[in-house]
Amino acid sequence: MTGRAAEPEVIWARPERTGRGPRPAYTRADIAAAAVRIADAEGLDAVSMRRVAAELGCGTMSLYNYVPRKEDLYELMVDAAGGEHELWEPRGDWRADMLRVAHQTRALMHRHPWLPRLMSPVYGFSPNALRYLEHCLACLDPLEAPYGTKLELVAMLNAVVTSFVANELATAERARSLPWSEEQENAMRGAYLGGRIATGAYPRMAAAFAEDPGPIDLEAVFERALGRVLDGFAPRR
């Protein structure tokens, strides 16, 4: 039942539940919500068909009537999280609207820290993903560019946000695991780095630190990264 099908299939093209019997006791939304609750509380690795079935109060084998593979469960989870995207009437300023999209996506990924691990173009055509993409294209109506270019812009902006958030989450997770404070860690590493730079073996790094000794303003870095992506798609004047 859990092996690979002879032909590929899309979970959204399947009926909500296969097999005979009484009216389905659960919807895909119920199943996705249960999986998301587990992942939010305990991380993605805690999500399994058995665990989700227990959360719903049904047998594991019964769950396969609704979701044939764990990969399908992941797709349901990504779609459920995507449903949290706020959609608004575009203001006619494509840069401002896409910046708003990017900030919203960042907040969404922080609410669901498992989400960056599952970001994949394979999941890009679920119901809520299509709703999101249509909204992004509406925001980009004022930009004079082919739709293929606009979709590339959306993909690149999402890639920047996903990479940035993944790094934020990994840094926070590492800090929680340290036997000392993050400030102590940074001070120790800063002292080591300063000592290496002082040897004169890294003149360009020495010049870089002399120019801007830090600390790094990560919020400003995030804004610049988004701006540079959008600048790359702005019409040439």
What pLDDT is stored for residue 186 in this prediction?
85
What pLDDT is stored for residue 75 in this prediction?
95
Between 71 and 14, residue with greater pLDDT? 71
What pLDDT is stored for residue 24 in this prediction?
62
CA dist., res. 184 & res. 220, Å (int): 24
Q: What is the mean pLDDT of the chain?
A: 90
Which pLDDT band holds residue 19 (cuts at 50, 70, 90)? low
Burial classification of residue 148, based on how many CB atoms lie within 10 Å of its CB (0-12 exposed, 13-18 middle, 19 or more buried): exposed
CA dist 184 to 58, 170, 191, 212, 216, Å?
48, 18, 11, 21, 17
Q: Which residue has the tokens 């249509």?
A: 134
Average pLDDT over residues 20-34: 81
CA dist., res. 110 & res. 206, Å (int): 35
Average pLDDT over residues 47-71: 92
The model's pLDDT over 192-206, given as tens digits with 9 standing for 90+, comes to 999 999 999 999 999
The model's pLDDT over 72-101, given as tens digits with 9 standing for 90+, comes to 999 999 999 999 999 999 999 999 999 999
Between 97 and 215, residue with greater pLDDT? 97
Closest by CA position to 102, among listed 154, 65, 151: 154
What pLDDT is stored for residue 1 in this prediction?
47
This prediction has a pTM of 0.87
DSSP string, the chain: --SPPSS---GGGS-SS-SSSSSPS--HHHHHHHHHHHHHHH-GGG--HHHHHHHHTS-HHHHTTT--SHHHHHHHHHHHHHTT-------S-HHHHHHHHHHHHHHHHHHSTTHHHH--GGGTTSHHHHHHHHHHHHHTTTS-S-HHHHHHHHHHHHHHHHHHHHHHHHHHHHHHH-SS-HHHHHHHHHHHHHHHHTTTS-HHHHHHHHH------HHHHHHHHHHHHHHTTSPP-
Residue 143 neighbours by CB distance under 10 Å:
17
Phi, psi of 118 (to 5 degrees): -105, 0
Q: Is the pLDDT of residue 109 over 60?
A: yes
Average pLDDT over residues 22-47: 91
What pLDDT is stored for residue 9 in this prediction?
80
Q: What is the dihedral of CA 53, 55, 58, 61, to 10 degrees?
A: 10
Average pLDDT over residues 30-53: 96
Which pLDDT band holds residue 180 (cuts at 50, 70, 90)? confident
What pLDDT is stored for residue 16 in this prediction?
78
Q: Is the pLDDT of residue 17 over 70?
A: no
What pLDDT is stored for residue 212 in this prediction?
85
